Structure 1
Amino acid sequence: MKIYFPQWQGSGNGQNIEPGAQTILHYLNDPEFANIPLSHISAGEHGIQKHNINNYDAITEQLTRLKKEIDYNQPKTIKTIGGDCGLEIVPVSYLNEKYPNIGIIWFDAHADINRPCDSPSCNFHGMPLRTLLGEGERNMNPLLFSTISASQIHYVGLRDIDTTEQNRIDEDNIYAPAQINIEHLVTTLKSKNINNLYLHFDFDCLEPNDYDKTYYEVPNGLLIKDAEECISALKTNFNIVGSSVLESVTTKIEELKPIEGIINALMKN
């Protein structure tokens, strides 16, 4: 199943996240992408915080819609153009139910593993992994098809980490190397008897000098060539059952040129 779900409310004000997703959709020009409508509940500047989560009602309404759509279609694979990272709780939890012990590769500058009560921003895109672990806001648990374990999480490009997130990573020794080592990542996954993977790709994992059209710019990131090599190695060694491209904010198709290889590798058959 191919999904276009440009959720921005999980990032707070979400400037250019929705049009950025639309730019990738236009670039791909693939009619198979199903458009999941967003909520009309006030969000962003006029949003309301509940349970320490900004825009809570808008997020939960549209994620409920996304869950129903996936549940109805029962896809074997999911490719998502987004949107902010908070949307991942639905496709990842669905595929985890379908493929037990799925490996989750989190290409991201940020750990996205805060609890709402610990989050400095109260923006949900910093909470999806904690939610998927079943340790987030309990009122959001009905949005999940299943919960994951910490051993399934593998970070690539991680470098901007809150103290509470680092504590959670350390607690279960979650895979989070300072530098990418593709061979070590492949070996680690195989040692856990992982056969199926979900590739989450937030473009802020990349070095801004390579690509800076991202919602956040974090220095000392992953080079595009290394990201492409890593994705290629993972596709060669494992069965990719899900992938996403998230938080690119350019509204000009020509500015996608540097990341075309990544988009094509993750979104095309």
Structure 2
Amino acid sequence: MQSGDGAFDLVLSYPQWQGSGRPENLRRGAAATAEVCGRYGPMVQVPDAGEGEARGGINRWTAILEQFRSARAILDEHQPGRLLTAGGDCACDVAVIDYLHRRYPDLTVIWVDAHLDANTAETSPSGNFHGMPVAALMGAAPADLQALLSTPLSPARFHYVAAHLGDDGDWDFQRDKGLSWLDAGETVSGPIHIHFDLDSLDPAEFPHLAYPEGKLSLEAGLAVVRAAASSGTLVGLTITEFAPAGEAGAKDGSRFIERLCAAALT
């Protein structure tokens, strides 16, 4: 299936930048990601809630929470069975995964990221919510968000790819929950969602990043998506943290995003 064939039931443009500690280029990246992803299905955009205010130790929390509610309303209205998300910062995937987990109780999440993203408001040294989505999905969200979430994701239904960086709180959460890494060649059956944070990539190959600390090659990243698409039911793909410094970078990085979307159709 090629571009324009309605490969996904919905493309959610979710240009959240408020969760990042380095948001300067995320809006440009989110717009470029949405431009590519919009070729793969009907698109709806989550409204930007502005700067917001800090609450409970989380920066810009009121805006993040408002955007979560908007995204949930869009997803509940459209009820997509197969969902492509053009993200800003990686915490936008909390709303997406919570929706898919409600629809598919046996959902497996593959988290492709350089970072563990498993801090909580209590353990985060930065207060940036894009370092907390994994913990939030597993029952450790701030109270006002936790009240909106469904059943926590089981650690047995979660696998990291390429994650190697974390604070003490991240590693404590990973050990406490027994979070595992997807082995090379390991297959996953049943409904699958892939969270693809572009900062998982080696910056020598993909330099358009706010956090250039990844080690994953472009081809290895594409292989993860292709394997999930071919071995199971890939019901969700979220692409996040594209942070090009200018329009030339946006154009260059968009070529890989196009390849990621195509890989999901294997």
Is contact 2:12–2:86 with CA below 8 Å preserved after alignment? yes
- Contact 2:26/2:242 (CA < 8 Å) preserved in 1? yes
Shift of 1:101: 2.1
**Worse-superposed segment, 18-27 or 48-57:** 18-27
- TM-score where L is the length of structure 1: 0.87
Give 5+ residue unaligned stretches, structure 1.
Answer: none
SS of equivalent to 1:240: strand
Q: Distance in 1 between matches of 2:61 and 2:224?
A: 35
Query: For 2:178 and 2:63, how far apart are their aligned partners in 1?
Result: 34
Aligned match of 2:251: 254
CA contact (8 A) 2:94 2:133 kept: yes
1:24 to 16, 30, 33: 33
After the TM superposition, which segments of 4 or more aligned residues of structure 1 sit over 6 Å from their partners?
none
Once the two structures are superposed, the pairs formed by residues 46-85 of structure 1 within 5 Å of their partners are 48-85=53-90
| Alpha-carbon spacing, 1:28–1:140, altered in 2? closer, same or farther (3 Å) | closer
| Secondary structure class of the residue paired with 2:73 | helix
* C-alpha separation in 2, matches of 1:25 and 1:258: 13
Q: Which of 179, 194, 198 matches 1:199?
A: 194
Compared CA separation, residues 135 and 29, structure 1 to 2 (3 A):
closer
Give the direction of change, closer, same or farther, for the CA distance of 1:120–1:228 in structure 2 (3 Å limit). same
CA shift, 1:27, in A, is 3.6
- TM-score with structure 2 setting the length: 0.88
> Residue in 2 aligned with 1:112?
117
State the aligned residue count: 252
Q: Deviation per CA, 1:209-257, whole angstroms, max 9, x where unpaired? A: 11110121105x1111111122111111110011111011124343123
Secondary structure of 2:163's aligned partner? coil
> How many percent identity over aligned positions?
28
Query: In the aligned structure 1, how far is the partner of 2:36 from the partner of 2:230?
Result: 25
The structure in which a higher percent of residues are helix is 1
Q: Report what 1:230 is aligned to.
A: 224
After superposition, the CA RMSD in angstroms is: 1.9
After superposition, residues 1-269 of structure 1 pair within 5 angstroms as: 1-12=10-21, 14-28=23-37, 30=39, 32-40=42-50, 43=51, 48-176=53-181, 181-183=183-185, 185-186=186-187, 189=188, 194-219=189-214, 221-250=215-244, 251-252=247-248, 253-256=250-253, 257-266=255-264
Name the amino acid aligned to 2:91: G
Specify every segment of 5 or more residues in structure 2 that has no aligned partner in the other structure, as ranges.
1-9
| Matched letter for residue 231 of structure 1 | V
- CA distance in 2 between counterparts of 1:113 and 1:170 reads 11
Q: Distance in 1 between matches of 2:105 and 2:37?
A: 31
Shift in alpha-carbon separation, 1:90–1:146, aligned structure 2, 3 A: farther
User: Amino acid of the residue matched to residue 194 of structure 2?
Assistant: L
The answer to whether the Cα contact below 8 Å between 1:201 and 1:246 also exists between their aligned partners in 2 is yes
Report the more deviating stretch, 255-264 or 133-142. 255-264
Cα 1:152–1:5 change in 2 (3 A) is same
> Residues 11 and 143 (structure 1 numbering): CA distance in 2 closer, same or farther, change over 3 Å?
farther
Deviation of residue 258 (structure 1)? Answer: 4.4
- Whether the aligned pair in 2 keeps the contact of 1:109 and 1:158 (CA below 8 Å) is yes
- 1:26–1:74 Cα change, 3 Å: closer
Give a deviation string over 1:120-172, Cα, whole Å, max 9, x none. Answer: 11000111111111112111113324321111110001011112211211123
Q: Which amino acid aligns with 1:141?
A: Q
The one-letter code matched in structure 1 to 2:124 is: S
The CA deviation at 1:259 is 4.7
